Amino acid sequence: MNEMVRIEDFPADIDPLWAGDGSHLPEWFVSALKVPREEGYVEIDGAKAHYFRWGDPGKPKVLMTHGFLAHARCFAFIAPFLAEDYDVVAFDLAGMGDSEMRGRADLLARGGEFREIAEALNMFADGQKPTIIAHSFGSGAALTAVTQSPGTFAGVVVCDLMIMRPALLNEYWNLRRSSPGSGDPDRPSKRYSSYEAARGRYILSPPQPVGEPFLLDYMAYHSLRQDGDEWTWKFSTEVFRRSNKPDEWLTMGERLVQAPGRKAIVHGGLSLLFTPESAEYVRELGGGDIPIIAVPEARHHLMLDQPLAFVTALRSVLALWGTHTAPPFAG
């Protein structure tokens, strides 16, 4: 570790419980977490929704969210690299991270969250249209958002959303894998006697090694909360109270292609959920005009594998869209 940097000088996100003395943390990560940001809550339908905000409120808007059972901090080390040129908000979906559960957890409600948080944070001021960047499960909700409210958002960057031909997806599920959003809403959240015991149960879905293990430690720590002498997960089990019908995922390719407005796909080059076969399938469905960008050496959780390459891909899409007029919405 640089002798000029001490653990007490690190941002609050870097807690010794997960980071130790911080000597293994790269400078880019520490610097990213030091970029000024606003953290707060807005009340929506009587529940608190948690968000971070970076950049200049007068600049083009970017709205980011995460995958299932994750939280906005998966973008806390990504968004700062966009902050010079954009007004960036990353938020926790209801019932996940530090956002309270509100309403239902079904597909339509998830789609509505994007408009709700953007309205609460005045992101539509002066006719502005935020661009959505979302990962995995959050990308499916983002497609619902732009379909519910055509012309409201400037576009959506879909990050490693599970898209497969129906036959291949059925094969994938037959390997005892569950679809995103599966779980028992009536089962109480598990509790652990120590942080170390809880950390040992933090597993990515789908399971994978990560290119930057310290980022997995960071995500795990902020997925947990201490309750007395015990540790438990932040997410509410109410997030599982949804139909999660197979059709939601079997038709995801069609939903993507048919969703109105600009779309781009950024995926891990080694992802199991969006593969070269998935790209071919999207094109066959009529999505030949959708840019599809693979991040080399990244798997599904691409921000944990190749964070800086992921940043480059996102900045490239946003810059390209910033220099071209958005196509008119054809209802």
**Residue-wise DSSP of 78-90:** TGGGTTTTSEEEE
Helices (H), the chain: 16-19, 27-34, 107-120, 137-148, 166-173, 195-199, 213-221, 246-250, 252-258, 276-284, 302-305, 307-322
| Whole-structure pTM value | 0.94
211: its two tokens: 């290119």
> DSSP string covering 52-103, please?
EEES-TTSPEEEEE--TT--GGGGTTTGGGTTTTSEEEEEPPTTSTTPPP-S
Q: What is the pLDDT at residue 5?
A: 54
- Residue 116 carries which side chain, given as an amino acid letter? E
- State how far the Cα of 55 lies from the Cα of 290, in Å rounded to an integer: 28
Percent of the chain with pLDDT over 70: 94
**φ/ψ bin of 182: left (φ > 0), alpha (ψ from -120 to 50), beta (otherwise):** beta
Contacts of 155 (CB under 8 A, 6+ apart): 131, 132, 261, 262, 263, 264, 321, 326
Asked if residues 211 and 297 have their Cβ atoms less than 8 Å apart, the reply is: yes
305: its two tokens: 């594998």
- Residue 10 carries which side chain, given as an amino acid letter? F
Measured at the CA of 319, the angle between CA 57 and CA 294, to 5 degrees, comes to 120
Q: What is the pLDDT of residues 269-289, one digit of tens each?
A: 999 999 999 999 999 999 999
Q: What is the pLDDT of residues 182-200, one digit of tens each?
A: 788 888 899 999 999 999 9
Q: What is the pLDDT of residues 34-63, one digit of tens each?
A: 999 999 999 999 999 999 999 999 999 999
Q: What is the pLDDT of residues 87-131, one digit of tens each?
A: 999 999 999 999 999 988 888 899 999 999 999 999 999 899 999
What's the mean pLDDT when you consider all of the chain? 92
Percent of the chain with pLDDT over 90: 82
Q: 10-19 contacts: CB < 8 A, separation 24 or more? A: 13/73, 13/76, 13/218, 13/222, 14/218, 15/221, 17/195, 17/221, 18/199, 18/217, 18/218, 18/220, 18/221, 19/214, 19/217, 19/218
Please state the rounded mean pLDDT for residues 135-150: 96
- State how far the Cα of 48 lies from the Cα of 46, in Å rounded to an integer: 7
